Each structure stands twice: as structure tokens, then as C-alpha cells.
Amino acid sequence: MSEDIEKKLETIPKAIFFDEKEDRFFILDQTKLPVEEVIEEQKDLNQVYDSIYMLKVRGAPAIGIAGAYGLLISLKEHIDKPLDEFIKIVEQNAEYLNSSRPTAVNLSWALNKLSKIAKNFPKSSSSKELYKAIRDEAIAIHKSDIKTCREIGENGAELIKEGFGVLTLCNAGALATGGIGTALAPMYVAWSKGVRFKAYSSETRPLLQGARITCWELNKFGVDTTMIADSVSSYLMKLGKVDMIVVGADRVANNGDTANKIGTLSLAVNAKHYGIPFYIACPYSTIDVDTKTGDGIVVEERGAQELIYIKGQQIAPKDIKVFNPAFDVTDNSLISGFITEKGIIRAPYDFSKSAKSE
């Protein structure tokens, strides 16, 4: 990994920061971007739940890391309790945090890893020892994601050629992960190696993560970036300005059906029509081999307020009926391949042969 990438990414505040000396957990409040850069300490379980639900921290890998640290800080006040009682608190708090964003598998993946440690911990040990074991694993999850993002970047960069137009949706960059991102990681690596291309960022309604966050990130890194309205993407493809599309994922079923930010399915269908490669960039932890197809993915539906209001400004009748799914599920037949830390995986997809459910 080029040091140039790391230096440039230092201009982008980290989505998550954990102070290992004092066990304090901080997030960048992404709802304030790009106008303000607000760092907020997370001090209790309910605050972490709200931060995840309200999208102050978002992106499947980052949500998983936040869930791990959130569970950890929720346990600090209980370390003097008997081990059996402490383990029950671990399980209860993990279950509560997991309900904040049901579609993103990394959250349940991370919380299950920590709950499994508690469940299998030696009964002769103390709550303080279990706390330390959970702490060590939470930090390990964070560090592992940093490494994984770098590997995704290196593996995907080979797909981006000089002069390409690369379209993305939502934000799957540094602010969606613990590292340099998933979908944006190949762009960062390719750009740092001197490959010059044009990035197109769809604004991603209703919460505008593509406009507010991806454009902000790519601009800070120096990538040639153009923002488009969501409804422009198919016309951009027809004009021949898009050579590939790369997006992230919140959950991948065993057969390759993929849940990602709403609007992803439309991009994939249009890409198929125009013969444009459509890639998913994600870590293996986003693959849920226990969910056989996309039909088994629970799609989160969010409140009407997100559509009726934009930044506090009412744009529709208050009493209008609203259907507001946060994600859609893209059929595996529309996906050209998965860019992972293990390489680029192409059809036919059956992740149970190589991925283990943890």
C-alpha cells in the first residue's frame, strides 16, 4: 500500500476512533457532513444505538466496528459484577444493539463474535478478565478491517483503466469502514498509482450520502469527481461515460444476491442493459452464508420523515403515504463479480464452499 494513500487519507477524519489508554469511543457524526466535522464521544449503550440508527455512523464495516466498541463501553460499569450476571448483560446489550440496523450483517457478525467469547468464557474467570477479552477482540475487529480494506483496494484497482468513467452510489469509502473503504478503495489505490479516471457519485436520496460524503471524500483525496442526480445515471451510461460501476454491500446472501443502499438494483439493471460491468466491493464478513438467497434478507424500512423533509425543510405533504426502504436486493445474475480481500470472485456464486459462518 502506497504511503501516498495514507498521507492523503489523513485529511479525512476517521469514522471511528478508540482511545486504548482510557477505553473511550468516538465517532465522526456523518449527518453533519459536509458542512461540519463534529467528533462525538459515545458514552453509553443507548447513545451508540441512536448513533447507528440515526446514521451518525454508517456503512456495514463501520457499523460492525461501532457495535463492537459500543458493546464494550456499555460493559465498563458492570465489571465488578459476578461473571454469570456480567455474561447476561453482554448478551442482552448485544441483542439490543443488533436491532438498530437489521440489514447490515457486519453488525450481527461482530456482536456474535463478542457474545460467543462471553458464552464460552471459563467459569473460573472474573468479569474483568472477560471484559479484557471482549476489548481485545473489538480492537482486533477494527484492525482487521483496516487490513481488509487495503487488500480490497489492491485487488480492485486492476479493474480501473486509464480514462475510465467509474460510477458509485452512496458511500463505501473510508467513512464507511475502519480503513480506506470498500467501493472507493480501488479508486484510491488506482489513483495513487497514477491511473487517471473520472469518478461519478450519485447523490443517493433520500439522505444524500453520495453527495454529502462520497463527493467530500473523493474531493479531499484529489480524485476527479462529478456528482450526478440519481435519475441521471442511466442517461450517463447511454452517453458512454460509464465504463464500470462499483458499490458496497450491507449483506450478501450465499448465492450472491446482494442488499445495498436503495437505488443499487436500478444501477445494476441499467448496467446490464448497456453492457457495463457491475461490481460489489465488500469484505468476506459481509457474506452471510446462512442466508441462502436474497429473499431471506430483512430489508430495513425507515420513517416517513426522511422523505417528507430534507435537512428540516418540508418538501411533501405531511400526511402523504410513504414507502421508504433503506436497501434493495440486487439479483446475483446482474453482478459481474465481488471484489474482496481474497480476490475478485465471479459467478457461479456459492460462498458456502469458501466462507465460514462465524
The full length of the chain comes to 358
Give the residue among 116, 263, 278 at the shortest CA–CA distance from 203.
263
Distances (CA, A) of 163 to 58, 187, 198: 31, 13, 7
Beta bridge partners of 274: none
4 has catalytic annotation: no
Give the residue among 272, 286, 275, 269 at the shortest CA–CA distance from 338.
286
Q: How far is Cα 86 from Cα 73, in angstroms, rounded to an integer?
A: 13
What is the SS3 assignment for 208?
Answer: coil
DSSP of 223-282:
--EEEE-GGGHHHHHHTT--SEEEE--SEEETTS-EEEETTHHHHHHHHHHHT--EEEE-
What is the SS3 assignment for 27?
Answer: strand
Q: How far is Cα 210 from Cα 280, in angstroms, rounded to an integer?
A: 16
Residues 6+ apart with CB under 8 A from 327: 103, 250, 259, 260, 261, 262, 264, 299, 300
The β-bridge relationship of strands 244-247 and 309-310 is unpaired
Which residue is associated with the grid cell 479493474?
A: 159
User: Do residues 127 and 86 touch, judged by C-beta distance below 8 A?
Assistant: yes
One of 145, 243, 250, 257 is an active-site residue; which one?
Answer: 250
Residue 38: exposure state from Cβ atoms within 10 A (0-12, 13-18, ≥19): middle
User: Do residues 190 and 224 touch, judged by C-beta distance below 8 A?
Assistant: no
What are the catalytic residues? 250
